[in-house]
Amino acid sequence: MIVKERRPMQEINSSSMADIAFLLLVFFLVTTTISLDKGISLILPADGNELEVNKSNIVNILVNDQGKVLIDDSPGRIKDIKSIALKRIKQNSNVIFSVLTTKRTKYKHYIQVLDQLKQAKATKISIANPDF
């Protein structure tokens, strides 16, 4: 019977693998750029600055969970908000737009309403808390 001699297995030196992995990690962290989301640019008042406002200066915009809009109790579309806001601002420069949503309103509808108000150059926007 012929017996083959087995060669001893050579081991790979892995002592410097951790160093190489760390250097690659540092390299990629240093060379990667991080994009920062800008978000919604709103200037919020300081805490406790509550003022009484004349009711005729407030335009209520209600957005439900289906994306339908009520502007001062009259139904409308989100696309119409810009033109209505421009008219109201021309009539009264002190107008405040109060945006109220339900708890189930989709975020995209809320952002679309805010975008329409921003396009109309509305500077006074109140974000109301849903009570229900």
Note if the pTM is more than 0.85. Answer: no
**Residue in 125, 112, 12, 131 with CA at minimum distance from that of residue 60:** 125
Cα 87–Cα 42–Cα 68 angle in degrees, nearest 5: 55
Q: If you average pLDDT over every residue of the chain, what do you get?
A: 84
Strand ranges for 1-132 from DSSP E? 58-63, 69-71, 74-76, 96-101, 125-127
CA distance 116 to 90: 16
Of 43, 39, 38, give the one whose Cα is nearest residue 125: 43
Domain boundaries, given as residue ranges, for the chain: 56-127
CATH of the domain spanning 56-127:
3.30.420.270
Residue 119 confidence (pLDDT) above 80: yes
For the stretch 12-43, pLDDT in tens is 777 788 889 999 999 998 898 877 777 666 66
pLDDT digits (tens, 9 = 90+) for 90-103: 998 889 999 998 88
